[in-house]
Structure 1
Amino acid sequence: MKKAVLPVLFAFLLPITFSCSTLKNYVLTEQDASAAIRELLQLGAKSNLQGAFTKDAVMAALFPESLRKTLNTLQTLGLTSEVDRFTNTLSTAAEQTATRSVPIFINGIANMKLSDAIRIVKSGGTSATDYLRSNVGSELRTSIKPVMQQALNEYKLNEQWDKIIQPAKALVGNKLNLDLANIMAGLVSEKMFQKLEETEQQVRTNAASRTTPLLQKVFSRNWNL
């Protein structure tokens, strides 16, 4: 019986031994580093953002801290229920926009000019996401705006926004950003980048998050040792 078990056990352990040996002897290349960074970022771009656009997040985007008194004015004028309905619908529109914007992010990641990929891999943290943000972040936000505008039109949110904000215009004048599509495109973009950061940290620190052979090869070692 023991003789029969030994070949089976050997056959089971051989792939593991080979895999560990392969990773141990692997030398990181610029090509693999570049491909792994793109794979990691695309994985994050596909993440679900349901629940990310809370009322607090939406209100913070619409009314920055410096203009928070404007929000108090709207509540004083008895517009609280209208604001609640508006933000709930706006949250739904933002979630839809995030889903529709995934191809935009993936395309931006695929076409990103990536230099010194090995340094980005070795830097750790959220360096890959930071690189994407600094290199194509503004272009991604610009590309998201028409998608956001489409969602606003579907729910007739611009009309609701104009009605709600009308009483506050006289108080703050041009200090208030009235471009709802631009505001929300910025929020959607930021939430998507936050999800990319979370995914990058998970891939770098949690073996279970390295779901492909390439991610395992590139991010399973501390290359600074």
Structure 2
Amino acid sequence: MQNLKKNASWLIGGCALVLALGGCLESSGTGGQLASNVLRSLSTSGTQAAGLDESTVAAGLKEALRVGSERAVASTSTTDGFLGNQLIRIAMPDELATAAKTLRAVGFGGQVDAFEVGMNRAAEKASAEAKPVLVDAVSQMTLTDAMGVLRGGDTAATDYFRGKTSDSLRARFMPIIKDKMGQVGLYQQYNQLMSSYTALPLAQKPSFDLDGYVADQGLNGLFTTLAQEEKNIRANPAARTTDLLQKVFAQ
């Protein structure tokens, strides 16, 4: 009986964690169907033995979704969420390395620095709007996907998102990042940078996709943050910051 309780409660907590990293789904629609499927699976695996009824499990899933999404977005969308985090800070791309080095050597280091800051500021602003994008991605998860994630490692949920949703997330994230790049003046900074560089003798404008680079780096920062949050929720009871999360995960 003790082993049955342990196995059932591990499954409950794991399923809540898988969905927590994506966003807050409504109880209706695809997300509601997934929660219903999970609950039925838990019932056949010993949910009653774990001392949690279906309504408690459903509430725990919803709470975990809310808390997880808020943490992931909040940590990347604040000022210096990218710029001040060496793990996800967006650096000067390789394609512009020669231009940046040359410009620094001739006294245009300030323009180079401003461009790097601008890329990170655009990513921070775009991250604030990433929640519905992630919510849509997690709504596509099937019960089979969820069970596969449960059998994975400490970042299995993040690996799932990266592997299954990168292309669709990038497509939806691109217009957001373009809008924010315009808001922070990044296009103007880039044009000034290239004008200064191409004005130098023998210098030619490098081929570079600014929109694509910032979008890819912004998404990579989100995935990296999700991986950290996933590890924390799996391993650290202190990360369960509400009574309901403590009740569901502690079983």
Q: When the two structures are superposed, what TM-score results if normalisation uses the length of structure 2?
A: 0.64
Encode CA deviations 1:85-107: one digit per residue, 9 max, x unaligned: 33333322221111122221222
Encode CA deviations 1:131-150: one digit per residue, 9 max, x unaligned: 11100012112211111111
Q: What is residue 11 of structure 1 aligned with on the other side?
A: none
Q: What is residue 46 of structure 1 aligned with on the other side?
A: 73
Q: What is residue 26 of structure 1 aligned with on the other side?
A: 8
The correspondence for 1:202, drawn from 208, 225, 232, is 232
Q: What is residue 96 of structure 1 aligned with on the other side?
A: 125
Unaligned runs of 5+ in 2: 24-67
1:132-147 aligned within 5 A? 132-147=161-176
Q: Do the aligned residues in 2 keep the contact of 1:141 with 1:189 (CA within 8 Å)?
A: yes
The correspondence for 1:117, drawn from 143, 146, 152, is 146
Unaligned runs of 5+ in 1: 1-19
Residue 188 of structure 1 pairs with residue 218 of structure 2: yes
Encode CA deviations 1:61-118: one digit per residue, 9 max, x unaligned: x422x75333211212321112223333332222111112222122222233452422
Q: Do the aligned residues in 2 keep the contact of 1:93 with 1:155 (CA within 8 Å)?
A: yes
Q: Do the aligned residues in 1 keep the contact of 2:158 with 2:230 (CA within 8 Å)?
A: yes
Query: Normalized per residue, which structure has more helix?
Result: 1
Q: What is residue 177 of structure 2 aligned with on the other side?
A: 148
Q: Do the aligned residues in 1 keep the contact of 2:157 with 2:230 (CA within 8 Å)?
A: yes
The alignment's C-alpha RMSD in Å is 3.3
Q: Do the aligned residues in 2 keep the contact of 1:33 with 1:121 (CA within 8 Å)?
A: yes
Q: Do the aligned residues in 1 keep the contact of 2:130 with 2:173 (CA within 8 Å)?
A: yes
Q: What is residue 37 of structure 1 aligned with on the other side?
A: 18
Encode CA deviations 1:160-179: one digit per residue, 9 max, x unaligned: 202202455664655x41x3
> How far did residue 181 of structure 1 move?
1.9
Distance 1:22 1:84, change over 3 A: same
What residue identity is the alignment partner of 1:210? R
Q: What CA distance in whole angstroms lies between the structure 2 residues aligned with 1:118 and 1:214?
A: 20
> How far did residue 35 of structure 1 move?
5.2
Q: Do the aligned residues in 1 keep the contact of 2:126 with 2:180 (CA within 8 Å)?
A: yes
Percentage identity across aligned positions? 25
Q: Which has the larger radius of gyration?
A: 1
Q: Do the aligned residues in 1 keep the contact of 2:114 with 2:189 (CA within 8 Å)?
A: no
> How far did residue 206 of structure 1 move?
0.9
Distance 1:86 1:25, change over 3 A: closer
Q: What is residue 164 of structure 1 aligned with on the other side?
A: 193
The alignment partner of 1:146 has SS state of helix
> How far did residue 26 of structure 1 move?
2.4
Q: What CA distance in whole angstroms lies between the structure 1 residues aligned with 2:115 and 2:146?
A: 44
Q: What CA distance in whole angstroms lies between the structure 2 residues aligned with 1:172 and 1:125?
A: 46
